[in-house]
Amino acid sequence: MSYLVNLAKIFVSSTIINNIVLIQFLALCSYVGLTDNLSSTLGMSYAVIFVTVSSGILAWTIDHWILIPTGLQPALQITAFILVIGSFVGLVEMYLKKASPNLYKAMGIYLPLIATNCLILGVTFINSIHNYDFIESVVSSFGVPLGYMLAMVMLAGIRERLRNSEIPQFFKGKAIAFMITGILALAFLGFAGMIK
Amino acid sequence: MRDIIISVLTIGGFGAIFGLLLGVFNEKFKVEEDPLFKAIYEVLPHGECGACGFPGCHPCAQAIAEGTVPLTACVVGGDEVAQKIKKILAQQKAMSMN
Amino acid sequence: MKSIVKFVVTLGLISAITGGALAVVYNITKPIIAAQDLKTLNEGLSKVFAGDYKFEKLDKPLQSIDPNLTIGDCFLVKNASGLVDGIVITVNSPGSQGLITMLVGVKKDGTISGVSILSLSETPGLGANADNPTYYVNKSTKTTFLQQFIGKSFKDAFTVKQDVIPLTAATITSKAVSLGVKIALDIGHSYLEEAGK
Amino acid sequence: MKKKISIFWQAIIPNNPVLIIEIGLCSVIAVSNSVKSALLMTFAFSMVQIPSNIIVSSMRKIIPNEIRVPVFVTVIAAFTTITALISRAYFTAVYEAIKLYILLVVVNCIIIGRAEAFAYQNNVFDSFIDGVGNTIGYGVVLLAIAIVRELLGKGTLAGIQILPESFQPVLIMVLPPGGFLMIGVLVGVLETYLRKKEGKK
């Protein structure tokens, strides 16, 4: 029973309490860039979830079956993980170009940027630092991008509402997005300490 | 020496496997890129700065090719890029006329 | 079909070359880095158990009681007359950006003799202050974040903000360090209890 | 020669990676709370950004377009690890100082962004200039934010006490949300400056 509680704890802590964007401040590049409209936000979130879960699983297996037994972890870990993530992004890019061209068009530069997206590499590192076993790392690889999606949808919603409100000229465009993210981050600080 | 073989096989092996996967995906999801879009994309400065309102140069070139935005859409490129695009569009029209 | 072969060869070859280069550089630098780590380890040991002690490495690291924390090498502390005065335990605790590796010295009476950090990769200016000799948790007594653990016993709770003063704006790091110290203390104390019987 | 200067100038103000293209924010927020970390981060950043632009640009002819992403990231990551290992073994003092930043640099989007947007299409020398330009563009923004955040957040500047002891430091400035507010202000300033320049032209 306590194993399931532990899994639930990991899930809640990766989505809300240690939210990758608002608490750990990773993956900000695409976060601010893409949230001016909701459709590209959702598209990006699904792509990130797919790449994170698949990379998380493969990275865990490489780490535990090859890197740790052979003691090569300090040298190869970063490169092996990033090769896996970059390749999955390449696959997603080709699939999206065919399956939904307008989503591919909306994401533009941010699609290849997922590759070094701090989030995915961040997740593989979190799984390796916390010494998660297989199931725990799958849960965390699923929870973290969900937290990312939650933060993105919130910002996209706010920015959409902002469109029909007058913002001072100085703050138009991306400047206000940063301000809102700062305030959201403050709000999320309130969650800290929920899990002992 | 053992480390070198293991790491060449691991990273090289995964590289080859993903090369294969990417190749198969590339064949299966082949998309004929419209030549006009390709020509316009080549001319753009690739600053991916988003000043034209699109997240990057790919969508901007696509929009110019479709004509939904004026050919001066690329702010950073300025009129130097706009001239080149005008030339491409003119060639394209001439080709489709005869 | 041709592009598939091209992809396999290009990506395969480049990855193999990078893998090879990484392994070569790693093999060349490994002995030097190992020597440095040994030096930091010895410095850490003497900091944690001051005085002329001999440190004898146990052949098998002790069993961790928390799945997220891994235990590294443990060293029996013997004084000049060869009696065991305590034990030093290496513990790896997950911080916000990376593993925090610490040496925790446990005396026979179940109190902490000292804590020193071997490696950490926390945010500079925030979490990194854990290891900062000039960052005082208590300005009047000039005790640093790590020094506050000296003398604490296995009966204490080790909860941040109650009996452990946290680093400003770095609660994740503070919790990671105090959890690591607590686990190492419990393991060390129970080991010494059995060894004492 | 004029084109070379324009590449350099583009990377610092009109195409500033952090404020205009808005990439590389993760490290900017995390590290810009003190001048010392800002300088060390820029140094660690330059050690990876400039060589990576050169490597990517020298390989651009042999890499097919479809698999450019996996190849770039692997080469950049391997290169960063090699630099880290060598500096850890032979330049220990330097390594100790920038050890914390190397992880942030690997994750930094600017390097892959520049490789993708510039180095893949231009020759080696231009890519080198672009690398240097971006490092300065990145460093200038980092420093500007760090000066304000450290002054307000701790009352010191590069560790030297500037504001009088009675000054109650604004803690939020040291916290990451402060970083966001600072970037928001800087983006506003730069965009108004560019909009005015646009208006006048």
Whether A155 and A147 have beta carbons less than 8 Å apart is answered as no
Low-confidence winner among A35-44, A55-64, A158-167, C127-136 (lowest mean pLDDT): A35-44
- When divided into structural domains, chain C yields a total of 1
Contacts of D37-41 spanning 24+ positions with Cβ under 8 A? D37/C124, D37/C125, D37/D101, D37/D146, D38/D139, D38/D142, D38/D143, D38/D145, D38/D146, D39/D139, D39/D143, D40/C124, D40/D97, D40/D98, D40/D101, D41/C124, D41/D98, D41/D101, D41/D104, D41/D105, D41/D142
Q: Do A94 and B62 touch (CB under 8 A)?
A: no
Which residues does A187 contact at the CB level (< 8 Å), separation at least 6? A22
Is position C8 within any domain? no
Calculate the alpha carbon distances from D163 to C86, C92, D151 in Å: 47, 39, 8
Q: Do C96 and A24 touch (CB under 8 A)?
A: yes
Rounded to 10°, the helix C2-48/A73-99 angle is 140
- What pLDDT, on the 0 to 100 scale, is given for residue A139? 93
Cα–Cα distance for residue pair C69/C179, rounded to 1 Å: 9
pLDDT over 70 percentage in chain D = 99
Cα–Cα distance for residue pair D32/D38, rounded to 1 Å: 5
- What pLDDT, on the 0 to 100 scale, is given for residue C16? 93
Q: How far is C99 from chain D (nearest CA, A)?
A: 12
Of A29, A75, A79, the CB nearest to D22: A29
Residue of chain A whose Cα is closest to the Cα of B57: A108
SS3 state of residue C85: strand
Of D66, D74, D81, the CB nearest to A75: D81
Residue of chain A whose Cα is closest to the Cα of B32: A98
- What pLDDT, on the 0 to 100 scale, is given for residue A143? 92
Q: Which residues of C touch B16 (CB under 8 A)?
A: 8, 11-12, 15-16
- Element (H or E) spanning C195, and its range? helix C171-196
Mean pLDDT (chain C, rounded)? 86
Only one residue has tokens 């060449």, namely B8
Is position C119 within any domain? yes
Q: Is D74 on the interface with B (CB under 8 A)?
A: yes
Only one residue has tokens 């010191």, namely D156
Cα–Cα distance for residue pair A73/A118, rounded to 1 Å: 20
Q: Best of D66, D72, D75, D81 to disrupt the B interface by mutation (most B CBs within 10 Å)?
A: D66
Bridge-based pairing of strands C143-144 and D156-157 is unpaired
Asked whether residue A115 carries a pLDDT value surpassing 60, the answer given is: no
Whether B50 and A118 have beta carbons less than 8 Å apart is answered as no
Calculate the alpha carbon distances from A32 to A24, A150, D12, D159 in Å: 15, 13, 21, 32
Q: Which residues of C touch B25 (CB under 8 A)?
A: none
Rounded to 10 degrees, what is the CA torsion of D88, D94, D96, D98? -100
pLDDT over 70 percentage in chain A = 90
Residue of chain B whose Cα is closest to the Cα of D11: B47
Of C19, C23, C98, the CB nearest to A129: C98
pLDDT tens digits, one per residue of D94-114: 887 777 777 778 777 788 888
Q: Establish, for the pair of chains C and D, how many residue pairs have beta carbons separated by less than 8 Å.
A: 77
Q: How far is D168 from chain A (nearest CA, A)?
A: 20
Q: Which residues of C touch B10 (CB under 8 A)?
A: 19
Mean pLDDT (chain D, rounded)? 82
Asked whether residue A104 carries a pLDDT value surpassing 80, the answer given is: no
Chains that touch C (3 or more CB pairs under 8 A): A, B, D
Low-confidence winner among C2-16, C88-102, D11-25 (lowest mean pLDDT): D11-25
pLDDT, mean of residues A121-149: 89
- What pLDDT, on the 0 to 100 scale, is given for residue B49? 67
Whether B60 and B41 have beta carbons less than 8 Å apart is answered as no
pLDDT-based confidence at residue C12 (cuts at 50, 70, 90): very high
pLDDT-based confidence at residue D198 (cuts at 50, 70, 90): confident
Whether A131 and C94 have beta carbons less than 8 Å apart is answered as yes
- What pLDDT, on the 0 to 100 scale, is given for residue D200? 65
Query: At residue A162, what is the residue type?
Result: L
Which residues does A76 contact at the CB level (< 8 Å), separation at least 6? A67, B7, B10, B11, C19, C22, C23
One DSSP character per residue, C134-158 reads: T-EEETTTTEETTGGGTT-BTTS--
Low-confidence winner among A181-185, D157-161, D184-188 (lowest mean pLDDT): D157-161
Q: Which residues of C touch D71 (CB under 8 A)?
A: 10-11, 14
Of B11, B56, B58, the CB nearest to A76: B11
pLDDT, mean of residues A58-81: 87
Count CA within 13 A, CB hemisphere, residue D47.
24
pLDDT-based confidence at residue A90 (cuts at 50, 70, 90): confident
Cα–Cα distance for residue pair B48/C125, rounded to 1 Å: 33
Q: How far is B92 from chain D (nearest CA, A)?
A: 24
Structure tokens at A145: 């991008």
Backbone angles phi, psi at C56, to 5 degrees: -115, 120
The answer to ipTM > 0.85 is no
Mean pLDDT (chain A, rounded)? 82
CB atoms within 10 A of CB A4: 8
What b-and-e string marks burial along A109-130, b requiring 16 or more CB atoms within 10 Å of the CB?
bbbbbbbbbbbbbbbbbbbbbb
Of B11, B16, B27, the CB nearest to C8: B16
Rounded to 10 degrees, what is the CA torsion of D159, D163, D167, D168? -30
- What pLDDT, on the 0 to 100 scale, is given for residue A61? 92
- What pLDDT, on the 0 to 100 scale, is given for residue A189? 78
Asked whether residue B8 carries a pLDDT value surpassing 80, the answer given is: yes
pLDDT-based confidence at residue B16 (cuts at 50, 70, 90): very high
pLDDT-based confidence at residue A109 (cuts at 50, 70, 90): low
Q: Is A110 on the interface with B (CB under 8 A)?
A: yes
Is position C140 within any domain? yes
Asked whether residue C154 carries a pLDDT value surpassing 90, the answer given is: no
Is position C28 within any domain? no
Provide the 8-state DSSP code for D110.
H
Q: Is B58 on the interface with A (CB under 8 A)?
A: yes
Structure tokens at C36: 């440095």
pLDDT over 90 percentage in chain C = 18
Q: Which of D108, D86, D140, D89 is nearest to D26 (CA)?
A: D108
pLDDT tens digits, one per residue of C125-151: 778 888 888 888 888 888 888 888 888
Q: How far is B32 from chain A (nearest CA, A)?
A: 10
Of B18, B29, B59, the CB nearest to A94: B29
Is D61 exposed, middle or buried (CB count within 10 Å of its CB: 0-12, 13-18, 19+)? exposed
Rounded to 10 degrees, what is the CA torsion of D178, D183, A194, A143? -170
Q: Do A80 and B11 touch (CB under 8 A)?
A: yes
Residue of chain C whose Cα is closest to the Cα of A86: C11
Structure tokens at C112: 């902490």
- What pLDDT, on the 0 to 100 scale, is given for residue C17? 92
Identify the CATH number of the domain defined by range B35-97.
1.10.15
Highest averaged pLDDT of the listed ranges A66-75, C21-30, C113-122, D92-101: C21-30
Q: Give the residue numbers spanning the domain of C191.
A: 49-196
Q: Is D117 on the interface with B (CB under 8 A)?
A: yes
pLDDT-based confidence at residue C197 (cuts at 50, 70, 90): low
pLDDT, mean of residues C176-187: 90
- Domain residues of chain D, as ranges? 2-200
- What pLDDT, on the 0 to 100 scale, is given for residue C191? 87
Query: At residue D104, what is the residue type?
Result: L
pLDDT, mean of residues B11-18: 91
- Domain residues of chain B, as ranges? 1-30, 35-97
Structure tokens at A108: 């533009």
Q: Give B55 or C106, the one with higher predicted confidence.
A: C106
Q: Do D78 and A79 touch (CB under 8 A)?
A: yes
pLDDT-based confidence at residue A114 (cuts at 50, 70, 90): low
Cα–Cα distance for residue pair A139/B65, rounded to 1 Å: 44
Cα–Cα distance for residue pair B18/B51, rounded to 1 Å: 35
Query: At residue C110, what is the residue type?
Result: G
Task: Measure CA A118 to chain center.
Answer: 8
Q: Of how many residues is chain B composed?
A: 98
Q: Give B69 or D70, the one with higher predicted confidence.
A: D70
